[in-house]
């Protein structure tokens, strides 16, 4: 299942989920049958395989047509071949990509995806880290049969007026044919028809057209009432519908003023969790039933927000958040990069691609209320500041309707606090330092206000403590469930009652696997980051109830 709703009535879509053949380049000479979506680490021979390999399958095209291959995530580098011809190259496990092929004949065709999950200079963002970089076609894939003129994307921007809502719909149409084509498009939303200006789309080019309308009678989307509407854009030739795209949207605004984050003008306090896409046995290829369970567990504890640390998430998870009114901080892919990592010659381009792919694809999710970048990177250096600034500017060039942020750990030396709309800080009082939690928080906020963050909403984006599931200790020593619970109890009492804080994101929801390389093994018992309030099987630790006592209030 690629999304939680049908995206087309006209365009034919066949999901490529199922068993593919996989040959790793590990000299074993073996070929496996592996699931897509899936991580190859689920196979006993490949539990720790870091390398390259080739996925293949055949697929049937039903008529002579153009086709579009959709990959929602391949970890981490993909080279895609259609009948032996290279049609796409893509880097980054966490963003979708497509390949369009005109003039395909009806019948059987071969699809080959070469996948690489190695660490090297070619990969600036996937490095040995405090989460695992898996291998495989880890998110769904699909084969679409398309007209040469097709809808690339639709962006919906709502605006609150005195009496109701207005919206702007931008439609981007691509022409992969050999001749210019006339664009004749309209969209339906909440009983209103939006007509787009007629334009000519050049051969091999794309055109964006725009339409606006009033929606006096719709119900707003909010955390308490997550009302969603289908927006269906259609292309026509004469009376015939030649292509369509369905989005699911919500009428809501996000604003940030007076030190608060507001949805539809109403201040919200974000009771959040940091969540990695990771689950025992299935790795990062988390099936939708487990995504739903994660949200059920978070909601059971009283949370209303989730941070997609440290990369863009599977769209089905975002769909679930839209449906449940869960507020999302989504961020680009970068964790703990030092200046020398940021000076990798591929860094800027790979970040730019990631930000563009994230925003273009996720723009319509009402649940997303913050865009984040560069968690705990070199924001304490002048060179780093230039890169932070550029990335914030890129976000604003793609979306002015949401605030930006970055989670800093450069306490008292960050040079970027003036750049984002919301200031967020990661602070591990009670775990990495024994500083009294309230005092450390006060010092931090005083510094933020002084050094560029005055007047901005403030979020504690990470705090917590590790506990090995099942390890109980009457002395509440570090690594025990009791100690984790004590730390979270005190942190939540302080942060949630602080008048200047507008959100708390617990580090973290569930334990996740980490890389062994780069010495992570020495501080990460069991090869896991153990700061989850549930373990990697979602078994609750003592802290589960503690968090509930605070978030459910
Ligand atoms: C950081 C980082 C997280 C995680 C955490 C920890 O703040 O942003 O990814 O590594 O620390 O567990 O120490």
What is the per-residue pLDDT across 2-56, written as a single tens digit (0 to 9) for each? 999 999 999 999 999 999 999 999 999 999 999 999 999 999 999 999 999 999 9
| Mean pLDDT calculated for residue range 165-188 | 98
Q: Is 409 in the pocket of ligand 1 (CB under 6 A)?
A: yes
Spatial contact of 506 and 274, defined as CB atoms under 8 Å apart: yes
Between the CA of 338 and the centroid of ligand 1 the distance, in Å, is 14
- Tell me what pLDDT residue 210 has: 98
pLDDT in tens, 58-91: 999 999 999 999 999 999 999 999 999 999 999 9
| Mean pLDDT calculated for residue range 519-531 | 95
Q: Is 335 in the pocket of ligand 1 (CB under 6 A)?
A: yes
- Tell me what pLDDT residue 150 has: 98
Question: For residue 198, how many other CB atoms are within 10 A of its CB?
Answer: 10
Question: For residue 247, how many other CB atoms are within 10 A of its CB?
Answer: 23
**CA nearest neighbour of 456 among 230, 251, 262, 258:** 258
Nearest residue by C-alpha to atom 7 in ligand 1: 426
Nearest ligand 1 atom to the CA of 508 is: 12
| Mean pLDDT calculated for residue range 515-529 | 94
Residue 372 has pLDDT above 90, yes or no: yes
Q: Is 41 in the pocket of ligand 1 (CB under 6 A)?
A: no
Strand partners, 19: 35
- Report, in angstroms and rounded to the nearest whole number, the Rg of the chain calculated over CA atoms: 24
Residue 223 has pLDDT above 90, yes or no: yes
Q: Under DSSP, is residue 13 helix (H, G, I), strand (E, B) or coil?
A: strand
Place of tokens 């109980």: 472
**CA nearest neighbour of 65 among 144, 175, 142:** 144
Nearest ligand 1 atom to the CA of 130 is: 10
Residue 163 has pLDDT above 90, yes or no: no
Structure tokens, 189: 């939303």
- Tell me what pLDDT residue 435 has: 86
Nearest ligand 1 atom to the CA of 375 is: 8
Place of tokens 């800027």: 348
Place of tokens 């970089």: 133
Query: What's the 3-state SS for 464-530?
Result: CCCECCCCCCCCCCCECHHHHHHHHHHHHHHHHCCCCEEEEEECCCECEECCCCCCHHHCCHHHEEC
Report which of residues 281 and 400 the model is more confident about: 400
Residue 57 has pLDDT above 90, yes or no: yes
Task: Report the C-alpha gap between 219 and 225 in whole angstroms.
Answer: 9
Whole-structure pTM value: 0.98
Structure tokens, 445: 């906020």
Burial of 394 (0-12, 13-18, 19+ CB in 10 A): middle
| Mean pLDDT calculated for residue range 312-331 | 98
Residue 205 has pLDDT above 90, yes or no: yes
Task: Report the C-alpha gap between 367 and 249 in whole angstroms.
Answer: 10
Q: Is 530 in the pocket of ligand 1 (CB under 6 A)?
A: no
pLDDT in tens, 87-125: 999 999 999 999 999 999 999 999 999 999 999 999 999
pLDDT in tens, 276-315: 999 998 999 999 999 999 999 999 999 999 999 999 999 9
Residue 553 has pLDDT above 90, yes or no: no
Between the CA of 428 and the centroid of ligand 1 the distance, in Å, is 9
Question: DSSP string spanning 255-313?
Answer: EEETTEEEETTEE--EEEEE--S-BTTTBT---HHHHHHHHHHHHHTT--EEE-TTSPP
| Mean pLDDT calculated for residue range 139-145 | 98
Task: Report the C-alpha gap between 148 and 277 in whole angstroms.
Answer: 36
């Amino acid at each position: 299942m690629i999304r939680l709703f049908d995206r087309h009535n006209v365009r034919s879509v066949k999901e490529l989920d199922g068993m593919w053949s996989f040959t790793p380049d590990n000299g074993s000479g073996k070929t496996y049958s592996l699931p897509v979506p899936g991580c190859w680490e689920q196979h006993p021979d490949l539990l720790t395989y870091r390398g390259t390999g080739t996925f293949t399958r055949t697929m049937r095209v039903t008529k002579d047509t153009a086709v579009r291959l959709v990959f929602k995530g391949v970890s981490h580098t993909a080279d895609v071949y259609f009948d032996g011809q290279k049609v796409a190259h893509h880097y980054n496990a966490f963003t979708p990509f497509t390949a369009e092929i005109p003039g395909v004949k009806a019948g059987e065709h071969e699809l080959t995806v070469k996948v690489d999950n190695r660490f090297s200079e070619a990969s600036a963002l996937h490095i040995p880290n405090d989460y695992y970089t898996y291998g495989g076609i880890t998110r769904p894939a699909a084969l679409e049969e398309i007209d040469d003129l097709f809808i690339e994307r639709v962006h919906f921007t709502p605006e609150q007026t005195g009496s109701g809502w207005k919206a702007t719909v931008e439609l981007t149409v691509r022409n992969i044919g050999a001749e210019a084509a006339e664009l004749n498009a309209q969209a339906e939303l909440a009983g209103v028809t939006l007509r787009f200006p007629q334009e000519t789309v050049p051969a091999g080019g794309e055109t964006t057209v725009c339409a606006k309308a009033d929606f006096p009678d719709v119900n707003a989307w909010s955390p308490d009432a997550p009302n969603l509407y289908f927006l269906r854009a259609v292309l026509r030739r004469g009376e015939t519908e030649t292509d369509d795209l369905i989005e699911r949207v919500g009428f809501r605004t996000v604003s940030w003023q007076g030190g608060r984050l507001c949805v539809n003008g109403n201040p919200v306090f974000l009771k959040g969790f940091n969540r990695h896409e990771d689950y025992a046995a299935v790795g990062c290829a988390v099936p939708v039933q487990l995504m739903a369970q994660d949200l059920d567990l978070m909601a059971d504890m009283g949370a209303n927000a989730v941070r997609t640390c440290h990369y863009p998430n599977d769209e089905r998870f975002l769909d679930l958040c839209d449906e449940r009114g869960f507020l999302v901080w989504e961020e680009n892919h970068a964790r703990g990069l030092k200046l020398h990592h940021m000076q990798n010659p591929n860094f800027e381009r790979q970040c730019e691609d990631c930000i563009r792919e994230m925003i273009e694809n996720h723009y319509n999710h009402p649940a997303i209320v913050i865009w984040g970048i560069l968690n705990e990177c070199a924001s304490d250096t002048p060179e780093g500041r230039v890169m932070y600034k550029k990335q914030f500017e890129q976000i604003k060039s793609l979306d002015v309707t949401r605030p930006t942020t970055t989670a800093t750990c450069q306490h008292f030396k960050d040079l970027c606090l003036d750049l984002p709309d919301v200031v967020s800080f990661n602070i591990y009082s009670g775990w990495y330092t024994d500083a009294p939690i309230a005092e450390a928080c006060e010092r931090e906020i005083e510094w933020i206000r002084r050094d560029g963050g005055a007047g901005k909403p403030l979020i504690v984006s990470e705090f917590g403590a590790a506990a090995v599931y099942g390890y109980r200790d009457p002395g509440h020593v570090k690594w025990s469930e009791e100690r984790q619970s004590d730390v979270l109890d005190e942190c939540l009492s302080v942060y949630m009652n602080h008048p200047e804080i507008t959100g708390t994101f617990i580090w973290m929801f569930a334990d996740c696997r980490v890389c062994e390389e780069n010495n992570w093994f020495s501080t990460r018992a069991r090869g896991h980051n153990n700061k989850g309030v549930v373990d990697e099987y979602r078994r609750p630790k003592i802290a589960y109830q503690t968090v509930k006592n605070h978030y459910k209030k």
